[in-house]
Structure 1
Amino acid sequence: MRRDLAVLIMKGSPEPGPWRRLIARSASWFYMATALALWAVGRAAAMMSGGGRWAEAAALTQTAIVIIPILAVGIGSWLDCRAARQAMTDGAPPLSLATGAALRAAAVGILWAAGFFVLARLWAGLLVGMSTTQFTAFSRQAAGVAIFAFAGWVALVFLRVFFDACAPKRRASGPADEDDGPGDSVPSRLATVLPVLRGVVLGAVLGLTILIVLSRLGVDIGPLLAGFGILGLAISFGSQALVRDIVSGVFFMLEDAFRVGEYVDTGRLKGTVEKISLRSMQLRHQSGQIHTIPFGQIQQLTNASRDWATIKFNVRLDHSADIEQARKTIKKVGLALLEDPEFGPHFIAQLKMQGVADITDSAVVIRLKFTAKPAQASMLQREALKMR
């Protein structure tokens, strides 16, 4: 029974966090302790004057703590099934996924809030001696705080699901095949900036919600804002390198200098961009090492994965070879590669001979070139050398 309850709670989220795990482990003990306490209240009510109200409150509480979780799980599961069915029928755009998650959070949250209000109304008069008028005034004040907190929570759920749905799926990190170029699945500019934007937006919404809730509770947030401003100014003066890194990163992103999945060279380090944060980026070297480079330390950057790449390479021929016949043969190889269904789509300009690059004692060196998509340039060069 306890395991079934824990599994039911864990299934409420595809990626349960530490709080949900804690609730799943302690839910069964909470129900046992609550049932025991309510039983004791019911037994004691029989020996008290006016104990009927206590017995009624205990009975209604026992019913509520059983029915409310069942309704919450049922409504959440129904909305999840509805969203999954719609995704299978019409696809699942990010906005639709985020809206469905926000509606689910709102529906379940409203149900829990209503249950909490009913229980508070039952026990406020018994435990605190609060009259109906006092409870009404208190509930109005508490509702103002709860509405803003609830709206902020629903907004966070919506934004988190929306950003997660828009973000590109991370590829498994591990040694890659030589033929699998980094540009095969380079995400768009928006998808590259999205993880940084996600953190900034979620942090801003969370901070704004906390400030509004504190203001509704009667806390003067003016000194808090002034204090945060002074703290930010002190940090900016004391951590100029951090500020430089963040500002440089903003300009790199605005200029679209690189994206996740592209191969770049910073002068000292090179590799495939694996992760971008607010102040640094991580490069994965071909041999597997990860280099973390603050944006402020990047003086120049070369992107080897953007648009196209022209490859020039040499081939050695005997002195007796016919140069004109070699030119025709290379042209035929280039046409054959263009017509190949596997290699042809990667070419932008076909393979051709530029001319004689050098004449040595042992060979005539001719230069060949072609233009292709950067991700497949090395593979196309190897195929061209195989067919010569």
Structure 2
Amino acid sequence: MSNPMALQGIKVLDLSRVLAGPWSTQILADLGADVVKVENAAGDDTRIWGPPFLTDGDGQKTDAAYFACTNRNKRSIVLDFTTPEGVETVKALARKADILVENFKAGGLKKYGLDYASLSAENPGLIYCSITGFGQDGPYAHRPGYDFLIQGMGGLMSITGQPDGAPGAEPMKVGVAVADLFTGMYATTAILAALNHRNTTGEGQQIDVSLLDTQIAMLANQASNWLNGQIVPQRMGNNHPNVIPYRVYPVSDGFLIIACGNSSQFARLVAALGAPEMAEDPRFATNEARADNRDAVDGAITDLIADKTRDDVITILEKANVPCGPINTIPDVFADPHVQHRQAEVAMTRTDGAQILATAYPPKLSKTPASYRIAPPVLGGDQQDVLADWLD
């Protein structure tokens, strides 16, 4: 008999849409929670965020691939919050829920009686997670928040992109919605912390998660460089502000990454490339010295590998145990034998016949691994089953 899943028996009412909230609830779902996604008649915005689109068993276009990336293991029902019947059904579901996740604007659900104060009065153990752009209070609380805006306002774009004076220099967003995704993960860890607290005390609580707070936290060492050293981080292209050499280098057939995190790795790097004396040079002997002489380090390494192919350099450096690697396209990633061994790709079939490929839940739990039970749902496709399961 297989072990129960980590969150088996936990009921999650998902009133969120787009990415941050659905990313959180998909994690909970992957770990075994029963997640019910409540949508309006038009469905989650991302159902139409294509191309590309899924096709059903008859070859007809259905939901956007974007929707599929963050809504597996959920069941979908359609309810209209603007009607008394819809509101009452949500309230009834909330009375049965362990967790509720929503990403309406701050205070947006209060007029329906679906705010934390109203719902917790009838379900004191409810864990109510509110995800917004700017939080439940403060001067910006009323503003809508999208990932792109938050990457700009939260400082990320000021340190991403080519430096001033270089070709193509301008503030640059990251190529995936990292503020949304990190917010979803922070929301999930907070939910699990609240769940443990409830298991101890019986008390639920409200969780206030904002994209801006999350993005600021994710500045990590860059924030610390400013807060503790009054160093204003700048756009540095592919250079690292603190570690050298740690960047993209050109080779005869393209580019590769070399990432030395300490001086012993640097010594192995230059020895493998035929210049062991560089490790003894006072300009390069420590990371601080290399930071002071960044251009000289990078120039020397570039000269040493310029006539070599990417794969030749990787082979040389891997033998010397120096961190390095290629810059893969997305197809390259999923063709990589190690990625395939780690089973990073998951195949699912939806009730309408749509064949869906997705990325797997990354952590490998030895006793309660994630599972992939339900393909991203058809809009409203689970209405009767959910009402029967949750509300008898």
Same fold (TM over 0.5): no
TM-score (norm 2): 0.23
TM-score by length of 1: 0.23
Instruction: Name which one, 1 or 2, has greater alpha-carbon Rg.
Output: 1
